[in-house]
Amino acid sequence: MFLFSIFSWIVMFFNGSLYTDAFSFSNSSFQYPVIENKVDFWVTNGNRSIYLQKQNGILTFQSGKSESANIQVDDSHTYQTIDGFGYTLTGGSAQSINKLNSQKRKELLQELFGNNENSIKISYLRISIGASDLNATPFTYNDLPAGQTDVSLCQFSLLPDKDDLIPMLKEIIAINPHIKILATPWSPPTWMKNNNSFIGGSLKPEYYGVYAAYFVKYIQKMKDEGISISAITPQNEPLHPGNNPSMFMSAEQQASFIKEYLGPAFVTANLSTKIIIYDHNCDRPDYPMSILKDPIANAFIDGSAFHLYAGDISALTTVHDAYPNKNLYFTEQYTGTSGTFVGDLKWHMKNVIIGSMRNWSKVALEWNLANDANFGPHTLGGCTTCKGAITINSSDSYERNVSYYIIAHVSKFVPPGSVRIASTQKGNINSIAFKTPAGKKVLILENDGDANEKCTIEFNQKLFSTSLDGGSVATFIWN
């Protein structure tokens, strides 16, 4: 019986399961071997039973190579270097978070941007130059009475953002001095537009040079506030002029603006801020490619930015293959009031996180960081159904929504400077893998099906096995 028990124990040990209470030995001095966990893993279930919870189970690699492995991870094949993960900090997000009392606001900002055990370590933010549609009202930094102009930009002022956005950015930078910030305008000052309106219209050609100077002044004034702008895009969603605020900017207009005005203005001002083009949906990869084919504009451009309200995420690879020396960025996707937790978790993990990364993106950003319980503030005509990662319920209460977990499953474990490495996909299991600057391997899996599936992961001819419930996400970390 003793030999049979030992044999049974060995079998279960090599199957990755050890249940020590299943045995009783007459020799009380016998000590069971200590199994060291080699793989940490965190899970969020689509059924909302687990939220970004570290699991206590033992996962350890076993020698061998399995032809039936679901996922094979290979760090000898490397791809793009990662800049970060995060959200758009809209003016409305900052205003909403500032409704928290001092203790709660500090607690939340540390959780979002800190580097401790309970933080999700957001490393990249997008902000608006002037108002977005998730501000209470539209504005720019040079608004004038009808009929007036200010070509010298003497009346330029960051004052509209000095109550909420700028103070919050300073708090965030104090927590994470290395955070990267992308800034995007929804509209230039209305006196520069051919319809004198925040909604739609186009930039008048005679103001191209003035608008380039507006970008330069913005970057310099933000620097004076202690806020470094890592990159800009010339226009949010340039093919969607119906938002409030918004502006239409064709590819030809954007190319002309960059090569003749914005690029040279940045060079003259000795700015290192990157120029990233397009910043709109995946259904029009022709837009950035038509700009990049212009050699003069191309020289000023770092890369292209995308959203996924239309088209397929593979558009990023289409642009990468045409211009492999230019970077790709995924800069916006919202979760809405009509979505479900499991549906949004699956779709966004598959497309925004795994999809964008597998198609060469250096960042993955969800839309607004926070709003109030009524999905505000927003402009008249702005998004009324956008659900923030955080809902601020009162001065001492907030809740985490699905996009919090979408970003947290990667931002918490994949710091800037990490490199995407090869990983296979099989059936309903979607994957993305990284190697961090510290040498850790991070594997993120999403079960796109409805049923629990067993997973065997292979790395360097060693294996471990686990399972993942349908509609769930897991992040695995090992050295």
CA 289 – CA 277 distance, rounded (Å): 10
Number of separate helices (H) and strands (E) present in the chain: 13, 23
Compute, in degrees rounded to 10, the torsion defined by CA atoms 413, 416, 417, 423.
Answer: 40
DSSP-derived 3-state class of residue 385: coil
Please give the C-alpha separations between residue 479 and each of 37, 39, 204, 331, 443, in angstroms, as whole numbers.
Answer: 11, 8, 55, 30, 12
Look up 252 and say whether it is catalytic. no
Q: Answer yes or no: are the C-beta atoms of 353 and 321 closer than 8 Å.
A: no
Q: Catalytic one among 111, 332, 446, 458? A: 332
What lies within 8 Å, CB to CB, of 275 at 6+ separation is 231, 232, 233, 234, 258, 262, 263, 266, 300, 301, 302
Look up 237 and say whether it is catalytic. yes
Name the burial class of residue 116, with classes exposed (0-12), middle (13-18) and buried (19+) by CB atoms within 10 angstroms of its CB.
exposed
How is residue 173 written in tokens? 């930078």
Q: How many other CB atoms are found less than 10 A from the CB of residue 134?
A: 29
| Strands 62-63, 462-468: pairing kind | antiparallel
For the chain, the helix, strand and coil percentages under 3-state DSSP, each to the nearest 5: 30, 25, 45
Alpha helical stretches, state H, 90-207: 91-97, 102-113, 165-175
Q: Answer yes or no: are the C-beta atoms of 25 and 3 closer than 8 Å.
A: no
Q: Catalytic one among 67, 111, 237, 399? A: 237
Give the active site residues. 237, 332
